Structure 1
Amino acid sequence: MNSTARLPATHSEKLIRAPRVASIDIFRGLTMTLMIFVNELAEVKGLPWWNYHAPANINVMTYVDMVFPAFLFILGMTIPIALEHRFRKNNSMPQLWLHIVQRTIALLALGFILANAEQGNSALMGLGTNLWTILALIGAVLFWNVYPNSDRYRTLFRVFRFSGLALMVVMFAIFRRTTPDGHTAWINPSYPEILGLLGYTYLAVSFLYLTTRRWRSAPFAWFLILTVLCIASTGKWIPFPGRLPLYMWPFGNGAMASIAMAGVATSSIFVEGHGAQATTLREKAIFATLFGAAALILGWLLTPLGISKIRATPTWCLYSIGCSVLLFTILYWVCDVKKLVSWARFARPAGENTLLTYLLPDFYFFIVSACGFTYFTTHANFGLLGALRCMVFTALILALSALLTRWKLRLHI
């Protein structure tokens, strides 16, 4: 899931392998950590209201509502870095577009697996839904694992990779569900889960970025256009974004794309590369602070349109963008300027091996469900004790991610 967060080369025509941008990895790792925690916390009862997603009919947002936008923002930040790095390695635009499409399809495939996992009909498929999901995810791990560059085991690694692909294809082929009207149907594409939403947004924003990549101000212009689209759609001034499925119009109502494009714009401030000019740290910090503050002020001005993650209102987008920009500015100064990164060591594996870390809680959930283990659904599931259990669970997932990363199990699409 994570694009390679590297500074693009800036010297003549020669490709230079640059160091990773530590603040991007750490921001992504912290976001992943919080996502694991709040997802587990959603099943805990008896906590203050601000520990859950805000209901759609209330104009308010909680810190939980800002986790997904942070993912979108980081996705946007990595788009110019990863695409420029890939383009310098191979300056074939068709190959670059092929990579974008393949990555989008991969995210959609994983999203459809997770979104349809509990909709399957075991009797029609011939195996339980939990087992179906586990096998499909194992196939994904085998196919998208980054195998070592070894001549000795090259054939074995190819067998693993193609076995994973075959396993996913078979799982998709046998999937069956029963519709509300009693008919038998295949995969339900109506909601592609978070990974699928990231895939559609990645495709849309990559298209806008590549078509105007020569102009440094283009991301800011696109950000404004997408924000206007979100405003017009939320205000019911234009009807079409809400009527078109994402596979026809991946921009949606402009909300997700605007957040990701804000990440592209922020990347253009901090990362010197194609189309960017060298600036001092002071200038970067001032520009980013003004950008973040402007997003917060505009979000406040648009509060009459509502504040809601579920309704994807512009204020939710702009508040999330403003906080993400300001937080990243601080992280950049701490992690890339002052080189203080040891404090975030617990989150680095989640930031560098994001897709695997994302899937680990799903593996846990479907494995324990298949085994009939229900202890935590009836115990340690209320109040402070439940919150502490979620903290322990998050720490264990991060530790397992670090261990698997050390064992060279790393997913990349």
Structure 2
Amino acid sequence: MRSANETSPGNFRRADGRRVATLRNAATVDGQLVDVHITGDRVAAVVPAENRPAGEHDLNLSGYLLLEAPAEPHAHLDKAFSFDEIRPPPGDLGNAIAAWEEYNPRLTVDGIADRARRTALRLLSNGTTAIRSHVNLLPGDAPLRGVQALVRVRTELAAAMDIQLVVLAPYSVDDTAIHAALDLGVDFVGGHPHHTPEPTANLRRLLRIAEERGCGVDIHTDEQLDPEMLTLEQLTHLVGDRPPARPVTASHCVSLGMTAPEVQARVSAAVAAAGIGVVTLPMTNLYLQGRDHPVATPRGITAVRALLDAGVRVAGGADNVRDPFNPLGRADALETAMLLVTAAHLTPQEAYRAVSSGAREVMGLPAAGPAPGAYADLLAIRASGLEDAIAAAPTDRFVLRRGRLVAASRSERSTVTRPAD
């Protein structure tokens, strides 16, 4: 039987964490072939490709597209890959929350850490070099199990990726547990005011604690289809003049997508003026929202175009990966980008920006990518262009984090061209 090979393993180099001096013969999104010289953790120069053989500390990227590495602005590492353990029935957000809460007593620090580590490494292998993860405070006598697990994983993986943590505080938990999570090293205060009996009071409480601790906030905001629920607009009035060191992020913002264009424009302008970053999460919200609308089912994502037009910093994230809130997901930013193209009607360029530089901006991370002076957080993927990368999500990838090769993967595929005689 004769076969045609689609990929060649000849260029493969295993990830070992060593520094890379030069990336040779890489294609850029605008079609150029370049050599990228790296000094330390930054890109020193990007020059036309010289067609030189790759040296011992170089990487030959012939046939690869070179991109800024993605960042994941909204994950739930404590929940990820729990679907097979919980086996919840399909349902909306309320059902997912109930399934997760029912399972909470069986959660252990080691079990959470194992699933979180697996998810973080899957993200890394797909190109993501920075993650912001929310972590629930749990009911009972040990509310910090998830926090302890994710702090452990962050420490273990610190050489390979950046992990930011947000304490996700239920309405019923007291301030002491939130402060204890921050004492353990959590970076941001978070919650979901729109799911509480008193949304405004809960939002004020979370902002007060963040102000006391001098940290930022990342709030689950309006994760529902009610156009009258605009906690996002309340947030713009409450944040005041917060310094860049205490950033404000609003995640989900689904209900804004259900409002009239003039409301979207008004709220988006207020969000931009307040300096709030918005994270849209198409996969989970498309899965959970709209189940009670069997006809003309709403898309369940925020007003991305209106926010971008207003100059808001917009990021795209995967949210949940194979847990009660979403039974699927590849932990791949290209999957999120594809959904932003198909469901939010962004261009491929806008969609990839949302999962890379846009995500880094919302997360407060320094600039990265194939540009002089930027951090050498880079994804090289075997693709003919950005559209091909988003559409096909090829397995063949090299991932650099601050100039070090931290992940590499390849695929081999063969197909029959004609049967053997």
* TM-score (structure 1 length as normaliser): 0.30
More helix by share: 1
More strand by share: 2
